[in-house]
């Protein structure tokens, strides 16, 4: 902040649109970006929380209720953002969900919905916001995961969706470069959000399996630390974001994590934990955590 009280950093006056902004990583990224002087467009499916956050951030911010799998709703949110805030300088395609169960035991519609939100939702968000980003030579940060680098039993749809997000980002980075738009992919490991806490509470066997993962895949990062990494990425127009940074090392050895050796090592634990996860998922009687409104971000 300058001596006259105005923000003078890289985000000062910039318009940042965040999906999944009602809670978790999206909410905290929006809060931190606002502190850095950005004006926020908050997009999600919990209007009460979005309205409260926008009011808390103060004048110069806007919110829009939209499902990221609904192209028309996203288009209206983008049009509303441009009308209210003048344009869009950066987008954080963050909305995401995680289903419960396995391919053998669980609601197939929850598996499909996970891919629809996490991957198709990113595609739709990118398509809706690219024209506005081109106008300002903006930056698009799409949220993948460390799960893009490793296969974990009980997380098939989530891992598949996040691997898809990574490759989608790699491709559109090349497509948009000549238009002046930079594209980054974010790869957090476990972050202390409602989504992660509820998954651990719903499936104790899953929580036990996580403790047996190698570092840094078993580490849980604070949501503030993750938000700080995302905001730095926006400021620097980063190509890759790892949370924690040690996840970069996991990416470097990703071929080993899906090798026959990894299958044998992980399989030893999976033979014991997967039946327990399935039993607990069956007893749970729902496909998503309690704070995920009908599996929608």
pLDDT at 108: 94
Candidates 142, 42, 68, 30; CA nearest to 296 is 68
At 258, list the tokens: 């899906």
pLDDT at 251: 84
How far apart CA 178 and CA 281 sit, in angstroms, is 47
pLDDT at 266: 78
How far apart CA 184 and CA 233 sit, in angstroms, is 8
User: DSSP secondary-structure letter at 214?
Assistant: P
* Peptide bond preceding 216 in cis form (omega within 30 of 0): yes
Give yes or no: 139 in active site. no
Q: How far is CA 77 from CA 42, 67, 81, 176, in A?
A: 9, 10, 6, 22
pLDDT at 6: 46
Annotated catalytic residue: which of 63, 158, 190, 242? 158
- pTM (predicted TM-score): 0.92
Count Cβ atoms below 10 Å from residue 94 Cβ, excluding itself: 27
Q: Which residues of the chain have pLDDT under 70?
A: 1-8, 214-216, 218, 294-297
The share of the chain scoring above pLDDT 70, in percent, equals 95
pLDDT at 239: 97
Question: What is the C-alpha radius of gyration for the chain, rounded to an integer number of angstroms?
Answer: 19
pLDDT at 62: 98
Those residues whose C-beta lies under 8 Å from the C-beta of residue 175, and which sit 6 or more positions away, are: none
Contact call for residues 140 and 182 (beta carbons, < 8 A): yes
Q: What is the mean pLDDT of the chain?
A: 91
Those residues whose C-beta lies under 8 Å from the C-beta of residue 260, and which sit 6 or more positions away, are: none
């Amino acid at each position: 902040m300058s001596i006259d009280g105005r923000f003078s950093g890289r985000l000062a006056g910039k318009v940042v649109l965040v999906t999944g902004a009602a809670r978790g990583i999206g909410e905290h990224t929006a809060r931190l970006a606002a502190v850095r002087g950005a004006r926020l467009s908050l997009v999600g499916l919990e209007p009460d929380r979005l309205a409260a956050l926008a009011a808390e951030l103060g004048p110069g911010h806007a919110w829009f209720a939209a499902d990221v799998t609904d192209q028309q709703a996203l288009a209206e949110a983008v049009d509303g953002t441009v009308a209210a805030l003048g344009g869009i300088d950066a987008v954080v395609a963050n909305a995401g969900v995680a289903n419960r169960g396995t391919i053998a035991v669980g609601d197939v519609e929850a598996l499909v919905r996970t891919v629809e939100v996490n991957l198709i939702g990113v595609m739709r968000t990118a398509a809706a916001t690219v024209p506005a980003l081109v106008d300002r030579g903006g930056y698009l940060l799409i949220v993948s995961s460390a799960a893009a680098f490793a296969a974990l039993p009980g997380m098939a749809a989530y891992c598949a969706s996040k691997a898809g997000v990574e490759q989608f980002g790699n491709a559109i980075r090349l497509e948009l470069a000549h238009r002046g738009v930079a594209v980054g992919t974010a790869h957090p490991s476990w972050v202390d959000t409602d989504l992660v806490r509820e998954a651990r509470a719903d499936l104790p066997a899953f929580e036990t399996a996580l403790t047996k993962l190698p570092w840094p895949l078993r580490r849980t990062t604070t949501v503030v630390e993750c938000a700080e990494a995302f905001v730095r990425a926006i400021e620097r127009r980063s190509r890759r974001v790892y949370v924690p940074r040690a996840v970069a090392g996991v990416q470097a050895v990703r071929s080993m994590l899906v090798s026959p050796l990894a299958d044998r090592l992980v399989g030893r634990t999976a033979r014991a934990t997967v039946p327990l996860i399935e039993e607990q998922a069956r007893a749970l009687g729902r496909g998503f955590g309690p704070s995920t409104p009908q599996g929608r971000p």
